[in-house]
Amino acid sequence: MKKAVVCGAGGFIGSHLVKKLKDEGYWVRGVDIKEQEFWTPPWDEFALLDLRDPANCEQAVLVEGQPVDEVYQLAADMGGMGFIHSAECEIMRNSALCNIHMVHASSAAGVKRYFFSSSACVYRDMTKEEPDLTEEEAYPAQPHNEYGWEKLYAERMAMTYARNEGMMARIARFQNCYGPCGTWTGGREKAPAAMCRKIAGIEDGGTIEVWGDGTAMRAYTYVDDLVDGIYRLMQSDCEAPVNIGRKEYVSVDELVQVVAEAAGKTVNIKHIEGPVGVLARNFTNEKIHALGWESKFSLKEGIAQTFPWVAEQVAKQQADA
């Protein structure tokens, strides 16, 4: 039985990845600085560790003195656009420390395969009409925010260790991901969860506030699709970064309409000032498709799974207030 460590398993994508790896027959240790607040993933064990500390990284990758077979590094100080713009130092310091120490500890311990969760934020800002960027076209680099720069550095850390120390590294650049059991309030939530929360909280015919003019284009990937892509990539021989994302582009206003439909409500939008992020990002997913990956969930299908979960959290919060 293969053994894996999922770093960031107390978070959104990491907790779903634990389930995917268990379904694939792995023994799994989840690691995080915090507990998973929404559900108990089916890990074999969970370790509460701050991965900014090198000693904790060394401890995380050993089971009974032996290195695990695979490490999945998803731990990051992270959030949606509001967080990315307001917590630049935390992102640059905390995520970099986790990445630096975890890749070194994994390599030094003799871990065979190392996965790093990068982001589409490594790409520059684009217009809607521009042709799709390939993975190689992340360079010359011009990420829109510090989060993207930190991801590029961590990608290079993983590739450097692979080149010099012999540990296999696999790197995915995730598109925006959404689904149940993700952050939905508190300032770190991303747009799909934020829209679900806002719409769950209003009456039919009510109004929600949306940052910017609503025209920024985005593509969203449902979490089950994403963890399937992570698993396929980890088993592959792709040494360079690979994009994972569903090619279904919608404007922010169109996202609101998809959520409104799932909620069965008519929703009015009031556009207000706020951190919007890039205008558009178009990149190819040919490499991940070549590994047999296909997105199974349309935005409508994924939101139909996500909205009821967020609405339940909103109702619980209102009941507790």
Nearer to ligand NAD, 162 or 177 (CB): 177
Residue from the set 5, 6, 13, 21 that interacts with ligand NAD by CB under 6 A = 13
285 binds ligand NAD (CB under 6 A): no
Scanning the chain, the segments in alpha helix (DSSP H) are: 12-23, 54-60, 81-86, 88-90, 96-109, 146-165, 191-200, 223-235, 252-263, 286-290, 299-320
The stretch near ligand NAD (CB under 6 A) out of 75-83, 266-274, 276-284, 308-316 is 75-83
Residue from the set 3, 18, 67, 94 that interacts with ligand NAD by CB under 6 A = 94
Contact 265, 205 (CB under 8 A): yes
Give the chain's end-to-end CA distance (angstroms, integer): 46
Paired tokens of 178: 């959404």
Which residues make Cβ contacts (< 8 Å) with residue 254, sequence separation at least 6? none
Strand partners, 114: 71, 169
The stretch near ligand NAD (CB under 6 A) out of 19-27, 74-82, 134-142, 239-247 is 74-82
The stretch near ligand NAD (CB under 6 A) out of 31-39, 105-113, 198-206, 306-314 is 31-39
Q: In the complex, what is the shortest distance from the CB of residue 229 to ligand NAD, in angstroms, rounded to a whole number? A: 12
Report the catalytic residues: 147
Contact 25, 38 (CB under 8 A): no
Of residues 105 through 124, those in contact with ligand NAD by CB under 6 A are 117, 119
Which residues make Cβ contacts (< 8 Å) with residue 317, sequence separation at least 6? 185
Of residues 45 through 64, those in contact with ligand NAD by CB under 6 A are 50-52
Q: In the complex, what is the shortest distance from the CB of residue 16 to ligand NAD, in angstroms, rounded to a whole number? A: 8
Of residues 195 through 254, those in contact with ligand NAD by CB under 6 A are none
Residue from the set 4, 177, 260, 310 that interacts with ligand NAD by CB under 6 A = 177
Of residues 136 through 175, those in contact with ligand NAD by CB under 6 A are 174
Of residues 187 through 206, those in contact with ligand NAD by CB under 6 A are 190
Q: Is 24 helix (H, G, I), strand (E, B) or coil?
A: coil
Cα–Cα dist 188/126, whole Å: 24
The helix (run of H) or strand (run of E) holding residue 27 is: strand 27-32
Binding-site ranges for ligand NAD (CB under 6 A):
8, 10-14, 32-34, 50-52, 74-78, 94, 98, 117, 119, 174, 176-177, 183, 190
